[in-house]
Amino acid sequence: MTPILQVKGVTKRFGGLTANNSISFDVAEGEILSVIGPNGAGKSTLFKLIASFLRTSSGEVLFKGQRISNLAPHKVARMGVVRTFQETTIFRSMTVRENVVVAHHLRSKASLLGFFLGTSQARSDEAEFGVSADEIIGFLGMDAIRDELASNLPQGHLRALGMAIGLATNPTVLLLDEPFAGMNHDETMRMVSLVRRLRDERGVTVLLVEHDMPAVMKISDRIVVINFGEKIAEGTPAEIQSNEKVIEAYLGS
């Protein structure tokens, strides 16, 4: 089967700094794959290249066999490759539910402008997508705060809203950059089971950058390790935990 995502020799230079150096790996459909590595290793850069928020210096990223690198990021999101967290756009003057509905429109045919102007097309979409918006809010256990203004939400709920916005765009591949950062153990475990359900119940392919190693080992089918912009290992959690290079570069520290 063709991998849903193929990262092929992707390189990113920022002036003299090589943040990603010819990184290659495949992701199978429905897989949960984590990218780990020390701070500054190039993980966020890699996710930005995959979602086409940054242009590659060389190499390419294929989604369902089609090149997506260096397309406009909104096009890539529309195709179904969606990056969330670290810099997700949340409209603070809107409620939780309004934020989710707006995110739906970003992927839908109706223009966002139509949504704000309240044109009839946008209104029928609002009805159509309203159901899903509420489903997503329920899925994330956010029913009690659906009418809260985003500006009033504590950090934990803001992260859940970031997730809701990502889901509202109906992703095929969801890129989560440090979704458990700042969460306590219970919140992390809740999020871990949520990511699992996304894959199990909705078939979403998930790429994850995360520092919480117990959570990473628990949730991942496979792990890619990068250090100084280079891929140094790839394998199952068990393989990664016993890999000498990885222990030396990262896990042992």
Q: Does residue 231 touch ligand ADP according to CB under 6 A? A: no
Binding mask 43-82 for ligand ADP (x = CB under 6 A): xxx-------------------------------------
C-alpha 104/C-alpha 247 separation (Å) is 42
Residue 116 contact among ligand ADP, Mg ion, none, beta carbon within 5 to 8 Å by kind: none
Dihedral of CA 132/48/8/236: which sign? negative
Query: SS3 for 194?
Result: helix
User: Between residues 43 and 97, which has the closer beta carbon with respect to Mg ion?
Assistant: 43
Of 233, 229, 50, residue with least CA distance to 220: 233
User: Between residues 56 and 108, which has the closer beta carbon with respect to ligand ADP?
Assistant: 56
| Residues sharing a CB contact under 8 Å with residue 230, sequence separation 6 or more, in sequence order | 21, 22, 23
Q: Does residue 83 touch ligand ADP according to CB under 6 A? A: no
User: Between residues 37 and 162, which has the closer beta carbon with respect to ligand ADP?
Assistant: 37
Q: How many residues bind Mg ion (CB under 5 A)?
A: 1
Q: Does residue 227 touch ligand ADP according to CB under 6 A? A: no
CB of 142 to ligand ADP, least distance (A): 27
Instruction: Give, as ranges, the residues between 8 and 47 that touch ligand ADP (CB under 6 A).
Output: 14, 17, 19, 37, 39-45
Residue 162 contact among ligand ADP, Mg ion, none, beta carbon within 5 to 8 Å by kind: none
Maximum C-alpha span of the chain? 61
Instruction: Give, as ranges, the residues between 28 and 67 that touch Mg ion (CB under 5 A).
Output: 44
Of 107, 127, 105, 130, residue with least CA distance to 116: 105
C-alpha 253/C-alpha 251 separation (Å) is 6
Helices (H), the chain: 43-50, 73-79, 96-107, 112-117, 120-139, 155-168, 185-202, 213-219, 237-241, 244-246
Residue 19 contact among Mg ion, ligand ADP, none, beta carbon within 5 to 8 Å by kind: ligand ADP
Q: Does residue 87 touch ligand ADP according to CB under 6 A? A: no
80 and 50 in contact (C-beta within 8 Å)? no
Q: Does residue 179 touch ligand ADP according to CB under 6 A? A: no
Positions that interact with ligand ADP (CB under 6 A): 14, 17, 19, 37, 39-45
Which residues are at the interface with Mg ion (CB under 5 A)? 44
